[in-house]
Structure formats: C-alpha cells, structure tokens
A = this chain, B = another copy of it.
Amino acid sequence: MPKLDSVLACLDLNIGRSVERLSDLLKIPSISTDPAYAGDCRRAAEWLAGDLDAIGFKASVRDTTGHPMVVAHHDGPEGSPHVLFYGHYDVQPVDPLNLWESEPFDPQLKTMPDGSKRIVGRGSADDKGQLMTFVEACRAWKAETGGLPCKVTIFLEGEEESGSPSLLPFLDAHREELSADVALICDTNMWDKDTPAISTGLRGLVGEEVTITAADKDLHSGYFGGAAANPIRILAEIIADLHDENGAVTLPGFYDGVPELPAEQRAIWDGLGFDERAFLGQVNLSVPAGEKGRSVLEQTWSRPTAEVNGITGGYTGKGFKTVIASQATAKISFRLVFDQDPQKIRDAFRAFVTERLPADCSVEFHEHGASPAIQLPFDSPVLQTARAALSAEWPKPAVMIGMGGSIPVVGEFKRLLSMGSLLIGFGLGDDQIHSPDEKYELTSFHKGQRSWARVLAALGENGAKG
C-alpha cells in the first residue's frame, strides 16, 4: 500500500476522533477582540501547541503585546521543500446570541435532512475547523509513516479577527524562522461544494491623488467664462482619456507584465458557471462594464484596472454658483496584476497627466500607497502540483481563482519573507462565518484533511518552488 493511500485510510478511520479534537478546540471561546477573553485566547494557543507537540512538532506559544502566536516546526526528508502553514485560532464575537440555534461554544455535530453532517459552532469554519484539516493531515502522516513528506512550519495567530496588530512585528522579528518555500493558507472557500479552489494571489494597488490648479482663485464664470482654464474640465478630460473605447487603460506601458490568460485557464473560468448577472445584480447592475470581450471573472481576477475613487472641485453644496474653480482633485487607483511595477505605473500616470496639462495649469500629486500584485503565474510548478493533488480528491478539478478582498498576511509574507502563498480553503459560501450558527461541513473537514495529505505528498515529491 503506497504511503499516501495508508495516510488517507488513517484519516478516514479517525474522522470521529478528529471531530472530537476540533470540538475541544471549539469549546474555547477565543474571541480576540474582547479583552475579557484574553485568557481563552491563550488557552486556545496552548491547546494547539500541546496538540502539535503530541503529534511530534516542536511547538511553542510565543508572547506578543497582544494574543500569543503558536509556532511549530517539523523536519522533512533531506532536500524536501519547506512549507509554512498559516491559520488563526481566534474567532469572531457571537452577538446576537439569541439568533443561535445552539450555544456558540458548545459545538454540535448535526445531521441535515439530506443526510449531510455539519459541525456547528463559533470558529467551526473560521478558522479552527480549517486549520485543523492541516493538523489532522500531519497527524495521519506521522502516524502512518513516522514523518512528514515536507519540512513543515505551522504558524497560527490569535488576532486575525481584530486587525492582526502583532503580525507584522512578529514576522519582522522572526524572518529567518518563518521563511519557507511557500505559504499554505487555509482561510478561504471552495468554488462550490464539488470544486476546490486555489486563490493564487491578490491584485496590487497604486493610489494617487491629483490636484490641478488653474487660476489662483475661484473666478466668476460671467467675467472669465470662456477665457479662463477650468480645472474640472481639464481633469475630466484626463480621466476620460485614461480608457480607450474598449475599456482598456491607455497609460503607456500599463499592460507591461500582464500576461494574456492562458486559453486553458480561460476555458476553466468560462466553465465555472459564474453568474455574472447575479453577481452584478446584487448591486443593481446587469452588464459588465470593463474591458470589452473579457468576462467579469477575468476582469476582477486577472486584469488591472484604473478607477476614479473620488473627485471634487468647485461648488458642490446646495443650489448653484457660477464659479470657475481654481482647483479640482481626483483620487485615482490602479489595481495591479502579475508583474506590473507600481512605480512605473505611478510614473506613467504622472507623465500622462502632465503631458495633458494646458498652459497655465499646474498639478500636484500625492501618493496613497503602492503594492505590487502578489500572484503566482498560472503555470507555476507549485500551483500545478497543488492543483493536481486537490483535483485527485474532489469530484471536480481544482480551479485557480482570483481574490477580491485583501488578506494582509499574504502581502506581509511576500514583503517581509519574500514568500508566495497558496490560499486553499474548504469553506462554503453558506458557512455563516461571522454570523450566528456558523458551521463547517463534515465533508469539508474530512476531505479537507485528505486534500492536505495529498498536497503534502505532492509537494514533497515535486517541490514547492513558485
């Protein structure tokens, strides 16, 4: 019997025990945002360090100025890759308590009318259930083979639900200890219950504020109208120029470092059955508005954008004033993908504006942050390895998706540790995280463990290089 098969069999055999362990962890009310639960947060950290020690990790609870971190190390075979697993043991508050069907910290295994089972309780999906899928996979590997296929560091924080104030200083102080070939993060959802998903990155961002000044005071449009430059109009013309008739951004060099979506990837996304109308319909829109010929998924997951986030100039109060403003200001941001260079984008934008300034007008720019995209190429070996491993477990092949909201830890891993991240999670859209009756499907928990067992095996065999 090959090693992986016996590990998977072990996980199947012990699913009952693993649910009991998760229940023990779920009983600890580790609400990070409420100081009354600081002791419970520490208890959860200690419970995890104890469990990891029991598996054979060298685990420790590390103090911070907030809630403690858990760091655990386990060697892999000579020459095997080093992976860092990230999760968080803290949970959201439970209000409104009266909407819960059962006690939030008295976890229940419930059987639904369709026969499916779910674990109900605060933290079951976000993120205790998810992080335990990885822990259980390691436990089974150790139990069946005496070791792990890779060198593994497990890094768990207790402040994810309260802004992660200790994360950056901790990472900065432990760069060497925490640097690995790749980070595995289990805090996201599947595409649907049959289709696992790997989020391979986040779009970057360049924020710019541009103020155009014409006259040195506001003017009366009767006296000066027609003869004096109007900075609102100039700004509007520049904004209008930023996109061409097909919705593409016109900054020279803007698409440098932006690969076309591989045909295979496009076909996968097109095949996801994503309901564009439903997605847009939730905000009363119906027609994708971006680059022509590109789907909503392609646009939001793999294409850069230029958006005006705010504009102001002249008289904006009630009624009317026939003023020609001295100044107009816009806040403009660029979402970046793949290898776009934030500084080059900023420079290109500033040159674009400056070139379009008519005589007599001046411009001031203010920087509002710059971060590159964090995105593994679709053909990156580690991604393909993880994808194949996941696809072997689930009814449908794994899909690589983009990320909308930002996950700060991904950026910090990249910036401080030069480490890419694979976001692989087994949550579902109806898990009610942050809400009453939070649940985690037993299928998610069980097949999540099996997924990690497979991913670890595959990474051990193929390496974890981006």
Q: With contacts A289-B230, A299-B226 known, is A305 near B239, CB below 8 A? A: no
A residues 394-427 in Cβ contact with B at 8 Å: 403-406
- A48 lies within 8 A of chain B by Cβ: no
| Cross-chain contact B321 with A310 (CB below 8 angstroms) | yes
- A316 lies within 8 A of chain B by Cβ: yes
Q: With A and B bound together, what is the CA distance between A233 and B239 in angstroms?
A: 7
Interface segment, one of A69-77, A108-116, A167-175, A202-210: A202-210
Q: How many residues of A contact B (CB 8 A)?
A: 79
- A455 lies within 8 A of chain B by Cβ: no
* Cβ contacts under 8 Å, A267 to chain B: none
Q: Mark A310-326, 1 if CB is under 8 A from B, else 0.
A: 11111110011111110
Q: With A and B bound together, what is the CA distance between A310 and B320 in angstroms?
A: 9
Q: With contacts A215-B283, A222-B404, A310-B325 known, is A240 near B230, CB below 8 A? A: no
Q: With A and B bound together, what is the CA distance between A232 and B333 in angstroms?
A: 13
Closest B residue, CB atoms, query A308 = B232
Closest B residue, CB atoms, query A366 = B320
Question: Oligomeric state, in number of copies?
Answer: 2
Closest B residue, CB atoms, query A208 = B320
| Cross-chain contact B286 with A315 (CB below 8 angstroms) | no
- A219 lies within 8 A of chain B by Cβ: yes
Q: With contacts A221-B307, A322-B309, A369-B320 known, is A335 near B404, CB below 8 A? A: no
The residue from B228, B305, B315 contacting A289, defined by CB atoms under 8 A apart = B228
Would you mind naming 24 contact pairs between A and B with Cβ atoms under 8 Å apart? A209-B320, A214-B289, A215-B285, A220-B405, A221-B307, A221-B309, A221-B333, A223-B300, A225-B300, A226-B299, A227-B296, A228-B289, A229-B287, A232-B239, A233-B243, A237-B239, A285-B360, A286-B359, A286-B360, A289-B358, A309-B315, A310-B315, A320-B368, A321-B331
4 more contacts with CB within 8 A, not counting A205-B222, A229-B285, A232-B309, are A228-B280, A229-B289, A308-B314, A311-B328
